[in-house]
Amino acid sequence: MASEQVNLTISLTGYYYNHWPNLKILHNNVAVFDQPIVDNQLLSIDLTCDKTNELKFIHYGKSFGENGVWDSSPDASEQCFINIDDILFNKVSIGETLKSKLMFDTAWSDLQLEQNTQEFINTYGKIQCYGMMNFNGSIVIDFDTPVYNWLIFSKFKVPMTNTAYFSNYSARWHYEEDLKVIDEIKELIHFDKNCSN
Amino acid sequence: MTKTVVISIPRLEPHRPPPGPAIIAKICEQQGHTVTAYDLNIKFFNYCKKQNFDYHGFDQVWNRFADFDAQQYKVLEKFLDVWCKRISSENYDYIMIGIFGISGSVFAQEFLTRLRPITQAKIIVGGMGAGVAGLTDPEDCFGYRLKNEGLIDTYVVGEGEGSIVRVLNNETGPGINNTEVAQIDDLDSLPQPDYKFFNLEEYDYLFPNEKEVFITGSRGCVRKCTYCDIERYWPKFRYRSGQNIADEIIDNYERFGITRFYFTDSLVNGSFKAFNDMCEKLSRYKFDHPLSWSGQFIFRDKKSIPKNHFELMKAAGADILFVGIETGSDRVRFDMGKKFTNEDIDFQFEECSKYGIHVIPLMFTGYITETIEDHRENLQAFQRWQRYVADGTIVGVELGTSLIILPGAPVERMIDSHGLTFVVDDNMEPDLKLWWSEANPTLTIKERIRRKLEVHETAIKYAWPVWRQASRLRELKELILKHDLHQKETQKFYKLIPTENQTKIATFSKLGEL
């Protein structure tokens, strides 16, 4: 299977309370980073990617009362947490659209499950987080290669609307009709094999 | 008092009011006329919408690729009957009709055929569509044909601001019932389009609640790209001062709350000084609502671009730049008369990316000197600049048609030097898309089609924002079928024989079989 080298740049901010927050990053279940995030950090990681890939950001080690330790102030105004400010694949940002789709999957501790209501657990078990990792838990991004194609389709392709043909921006990346007519032309004209590619 | 109606007709985009009629209406008002203006394009758009009928389904008819179907004709007839009766009943002295381009000719013919018998008004047509002609007889333009058929009194070709006043004074001259070009040098002295004549609430704006209008900062082009026929219509490049353009934008913002502007210029930055002045003025003006403008833009040699130029453009409201990069081959681009390289493009894409300015590259394949190596370089461009698609800088790409030998374009004057020959239709009219060059013999018609498809497929492979190209492909298929290109192994080509001074426009009028 063909692989693609992808440079991942991650802009992060760590917020201190008792300690700096811990972050582990897994690429296809292999750890590529595992360190505390101190203030603003810019990580650059080179990945050898498959056709389909999973990138997992795991925030761990935050205490919610275990052994009487709370990694947040009593009024929760100060916390130990991580914010993913941006993720860039080969220097291109995932952008606001993809960032707004990031979901945080909370890894509850036994104590949290005991201390919180079921409604709370249900509400905060999986949340749209815009890159914020407040509880222990993870954010997963599934991506494909070629990575730019994945970024382009994920960020920009929208369902086609019925508007003026010459200004229908929603028709972009809907190649079906183009490919159909290209095939029709190729059926009419049989080109020689000595093409340029 | 003289009563005048100024009318624009389909096909126009329904997203903005038409500027030409807005200028002519203003001039007639300045001449003391009582002026009404009707944009029948937007009226027809809204009429179709009300009838739940597909306005855009008429595109193939306006493009003259298809005839009306029965239902379409019925809808059009009803619309025209209502409007012709109304216009006739309003007893105008003058009916002035703007035909935007060749895509207005079918509607114009249908409209005038009904209107002419029921009005005593003098009918004058103008606009680019009035001057559209073929390669072999430039005088045989659409306006000339309408006049010959008795459907109009006068046609105006070229810039109408001066000509229309002469027509009203019963004078003749260049551009009045002929295709001579009369240019106006001082654009700052011309009246600006006045959109008070139109109902600005009727339009199908691209961004809801954001009114958009056209604006013209210059006429003609500072460049002489070999494939472009702009010099036929506007031989000399003229431009308004930056202050004058900024004033029009601010005036439209203050009077009508218009926040989006689309430049009709061949190049919005054709005059670097005027463009820079406009940007400085706009960047300093305190708009309550963000302003944006789009238009065709020339990339330049990066050494000639001042520092912070793109930053200033962004501050002035630059949104989408339509840039003719044409090809990924530096050699071919230079042959076309465009003196910038792929490295210059790299730099300017990067600047646009940095400041959040969007770009729509305009490209085409099969220039007369394009070799297979050039074509390969062209294909590589899609990978080279894919990053700017991914980061949202490139928001569309126009893949164009193959090269058309346009009358009046510099490439027309290269017919002899490159040994160009043409396929002709049943009337022995050369098809300007179907040419072959003795100087580049491997670039056959079939090879150009193959390259076009390969470019299209490569753009798709790299996920470029190709759109509105399916219609171009369908046109190509129609062309193949029309000329049996799929059945004939070889085509019969005909040579255009020059009749007089070849430096003149459209001098090729006879055909000789090779």
- Of all residues in chain A, the percent with pLDDT exceeding 70 is 93
The predicted model scores a pTM of: 0.89
Distance, in angstroms, between A166 CA and closest chain B CA?
6
- Of all residues in chain B, the percent with pLDDT exceeding 70 is 94
CB contact under 8 A, A196 and B375: yes
> Strand pairing of B260-263 and B212-215?
parallel
**Given this model, what pLDDT does residue B513 score?**
39
Of B375, B389, B469, the CB nearest to A178: B469
From B423, B324, B428, select the one nearest B367 (Cα to Cα): B324
Q: What does the pLDDT look like over B303-331, one tens digit per residue?
A: 999 999 999 999 999 999 999 999 999 99
Indicate whether A68 pLDDT > 90.
yes
Indicate whether B504 pLDDT > 60.
no
Residue B21 structural domain: 3-183
The answer to whether position B81 is within a domain reads yes
**Given this model, what pLDDT does residue A91 score?**
97
Average pLDDT, stretch B14-41?
A: 96
Integer Cα distance of A105 and A127 in angstroms: 7
- Of all residues in chain B, the percent with pLDDT exceeding 90 is 73
Indicate whether B194 pLDDT > 50.
yes
Please state the ipTM of this predicted complex: 0.93
Burial of A86 (0-12, 13-18, 19+ CB in 10 A): middle
Indicate whether B413 pLDDT > 90.
no
The answer to whether position B441 is within a domain reads no
The answer to whether position B66 is within a domain reads yes
The pair of three-digit structure tokens given for residue A141, joined into one six-digit string:
């991004």
The pair of three-digit structure tokens given for residue B238, joined into one six-digit string:
């003229």
Chain B interface test: which of A98, A196, A197 (most B C-beta within 10 Å): A196
Give the relative orientation of helices B445-461 and B372-384 as an angle to the nearest 10 degrees: 20
From B419, B389, B441, B439, select the one nearest B494 (Cα to Cα): B419
**Given this model, what pLDDT does residue A195 score?**
46
The answer to whether position B142 is within a domain reads yes
Q: What does the pLDDT look like over B52-93, one tens digit per residue?
A: 888 888 988 998 878 999 999 999 999 999 999 999 999 999
Task: Grade residue B502 by pLDDT with cuts at 50, 70 and 90.
Answer: very low
For chain B, what is the radius of gyration of the CA atoms?
23
For chain A, what is the radius of gyration of the CA atoms?
22
CB atoms within 10 A of CB B104: 27
CB B253 within 8 A of CB B208: no
Q: Minimum mean pLDDT among B79-83, B331-335, B465-469: which range?
A: B465-469
Indicate whether B470 pLDDT > 90.
no
∠A148-A154-A156 over CA atoms, to 5°? 95
Q: What does the pLDDT look like over B340-395, one tens digit per residue?
A: 999 999 999 999 999 999 999 999 999 999 999 999 999 999 999 999 999 999 99
Indicate whether B506 pLDDT > 80.
no
Chain A residues within 8 Å of chain B (Cβ atoms): 90-93, 95, 148-149, 151-153, 155-156, 163-169, 171-175, 177-179, 181-182, 184-186, 188-189, 191, 195-197
Q: What does the pLDDT look like over B265-291, one tens digit per residue?
A: 999 999 999 999 999 999 999 999 999
The answer to whether position B106 is within a domain reads yes
Q: Chain B residues with CB inside 8 Å of A152's CB?
A: 386, 389-390, 463
Q: Which residue of B has its CA nearest to A178?
A: B470
Indicate whether B469 pLDDT > 80.
yes
CATH number at residue B110: 3.40.50.280
Number of structural domains in chain B: 1
Q: Is B15 on the interface with A (CB under 8 A)?
A: yes
Contacts of A42 (CB under 8 A, 6+ apart): A9, A10, A11, A12
Of residues B2 and B416, more confidently modeled: B2
The answer to whether position B239 is within a domain reads no
Of B372, B379, B453, the CB nearest to A182: B453
**Given this model, what pLDDT does residue B233 score?**
76
The answer to whether position B104 is within a domain reads yes
Integer Cα distance of B317 and B312 in angstroms: 9
Structural domains of chain A, ranges and CATH numbers in brackets = 4-152 (2.60.60.40)
- Of all residues in chain A, the percent with pLDDT exceeding 90 is 88
Q: What does the pLDDT look like over B143-191, one tens digit per residue?
A: 999 999 999 999 999 888 989 999 999 999 999 999 887 788 899 999 9
CB contact under 8 A, B467 and A156: no
Q: Is B439 on the interface with A (CB under 8 A)?
A: no
Task: Grade residue B503 by pLDDT with cuts at 50, 70 and 90.
Answer: very low
**Given this model, what pLDDT does residue B498 score?**
60
Distance, in angstroms, between A8 CA and closest chain B CA?
14
Of residues B293 and A2, more confidently modeled: B293
Indicate whether B138 pLDDT > 70.
no
Distance, in angstroms, between A93 CA and closest chain B CA?
7
| Phi, psi for B249 (deg, rounded to 5) | -60, -50
Q: What does the pLDDT look like over A135-191, one tens digit per residue?
A: 999 999 999 999 999 999 999 999 988 666 566 788 899 999 999 999 999 999 988
The pair of three-digit structure tokens given for residue B189, joined into one six-digit string:
């002295």
Angstrom CA distances, B218 to B242, B296, B432, stand at 10, 11, 28
Average pLDDT, stretch B222-236?
A: 88
Indicate whether B511 pLDDT > 50.
no
Average pLDDT, stretch B232-251?
A: 92
Cis peptide before B11 (omega within 30 of 0): yes
The answer to whether position B205 is within a domain reads no
Of A167, A172, A189, the CB nearest to B486: A189
Of B206, B449, B476, the CB nearest to A167: B206
Q: Which residue has the tokens 């730019």?
A: A148
**Given this model, what pLDDT does residue B209 score?**
84
| Phi, psi for A5 (deg, rounded to 5) | -80, 125
